[in-house]
Amino acid sequence: MNETTTTGCILRWLAGVATALLAGHAGGVWAADYPSRPLAIVVPAATGGPTDILARLVAEGMSRQLQQTVIVENTPGGGGTIALRRVARAEPDGHTLVLANVGMLAATPTLHNDLQYDALTDLVALASVADSPMVLSVKNDLPVANLAEFADYVRANAGKLNYGSAGVGSGTHLGGILVNTALGVDVQPIHYRGGGQAITDVMAGHIDYMIESATTAVASVGSKRVKGLAVLSESRMSTLPDVPSSAEAGFPDLNFDIWNMLLAPAATPPDRIETLSGALVALLSEPDFVDQLSQLGLILPPSAHRSAQGAADLLRDDTRKWRRILTDAGLAVN
């Protein structure tokens, strides 16, 4: 090999090294620049409801983890479809996220004809952040004292009763469907614009019962403005120690938790997804955060659901599950 050839090889090698170093440096700068401005968590619910309360708790914690402001933007309406469509179409730069629950994400596709987005392909899961046990709450003058008496009463009076729902596809609606299925009845829902309005009417005796979030049940049942007959779970809640679980009441299959998941637009770069998911994993490991969840009647999701992949699997599996349940109940529209 002559001197000219050797020099050329060396120059080409140095150029390659320089290119690699520049690429690595650029990647490092790009990663270090994120998040470069405040993030927004879009909430498909009105201010003050269970999803909004959780979103503000998550936003505060993510602000600490990311060292960047995280704000909450309430976008209610359409059973969550307005907010989810907005985020599905948002700039996929990791600065716009959405917090939504099982009803909004997994049930809505079966209950609506034209969503203009697909949660499974247009959004990417970051982590499931909190599970909410659901509580069967009835108006105080309903002549039942426990879940077994409730089952007998509903079977005998199904056509005369109604239950409250925070909207089509909401967790409260899905809970009512599960109770119908478990008892073999067809009690009709009364849909409200939010869970707060529904439980207020149960308290006032205008509607008969509701499958409400543990977050609101802590106040409504705790104040004795409604009767809490059962936590739809295998065990009791520490925040409602006097309310038996459905399992101990003799209904072991009547279990229903609402999961809440944080998602981003699907085309968000993988390293930003990793940053966001990592921040959530760290947040969910904070004892103070877990304690705050507990005070709200919420619990940590199973560890498998606290990762991006685990949350994606949960969303896919529950979308299939609820399509089957809603189709069997004659509620599927597509």
d(CA 108, CA 80): 8
My answer on whether 65 and 102 are in the same domain is yes
Q: Which two tokens stand for residue 210?
A: 């509701």
Hey, CA dihedral for 186, 240, 128, 197, is it positive or negative? positive
CA atoms lying within 13 Å on the CB side of residue 120: 12
Radius of gyration of the chain (CA): 24
Residue 207 CA to residue 322 CA, distance in Å, equals: 26
The token pair that represents 170 in the structure block: 């909401």
Answer whether residue 120 is part of any domain: yes
Residues 264 and 128 both lie in one domain: yes
Give this prediction's pTM.
0.83
How many whole angstroms from its chain centre is CA 120? 14
Instruction: Kindly state whether residues 120 and 155 are assigned to the same domain.
Output: no
Per-residue pLDDT, 10: 42
Pair (116, 170) in one structural domain: no
Residues 48, 96, single domain; the answer is: yes
* Structural domain includes residue 334: no
What residues does 67 pair with on adjacent strands? none
Cβ-count burial of 300 within 10 angstroms (0-12 exposed, 13-18 middle, 19+ buried)?
Answer: middle
Q: Is residue 188 part of a domain?
A: yes
CA dihedral 97, 98, 99, 103 (to 10 degrees): -150
Secondary structure of 228-246 as H, E, C letters: EEEECCCCCECCECCCCEC
Q: Are residues 142 and 109 in the same domain?
A: no
User: What's the CA gap between 102 and 134, in Å, rounded?
Assistant: 13
- Flag whether 144 is in a domain: yes
Give pLDDT, residue 32: 62
Does residue 283 belong to any structural domain of this protein?
A: yes
Q: Are residues 275 and 216 in the same domain?
A: no
Spell out the SS3 assignment of 165-201.
Answer: ECCCCCHHHHHHHHHHHHHCCCCEEEECCCHHHHHHH
Domain containing 292 — which CATH number?
3.40.190.150
Report helix, strand or coil for 253.
Answer: coil
Q: Give yes or no: residues 168 and 86 share one domain.
A: no
pLDDT given for residue 333 in this prediction: 86
Per-residue DSSP letters for 61-113? HHHHHHTS-EEEEE---GGGHHHHHHHHTS-SSSSEEEEEEHIIIIIHHHH-S
In a domain, 102, yes or no: yes
What is the pLDDT, as a whole number, of residue 7?
46
Give the total number of structural domains in the chain: 2
Q: Does one domain contain both 143 and 284? A: no
> What pLDDT shows up at residue 11?
45
The verdict on 218 and 286 lying in the same domain is: no
Residue 124 lies in a domain: yes
CATH number at residue 227: 3.40.190.10
Domain housing 203: 136-231
Burial (0-12, 13-18, 19+ Cβ within 10 Å), 282? middle
Is 201 inside any structural domain? yes
- 262: which 2 tokens? 């944080």
pLDDT value of residue 113: 84
Task: Flag residues of the chain having pLDDT under 50.
Answer: 3-31
Same domain, 110 and 146: no
102 with 188, same domain?
no
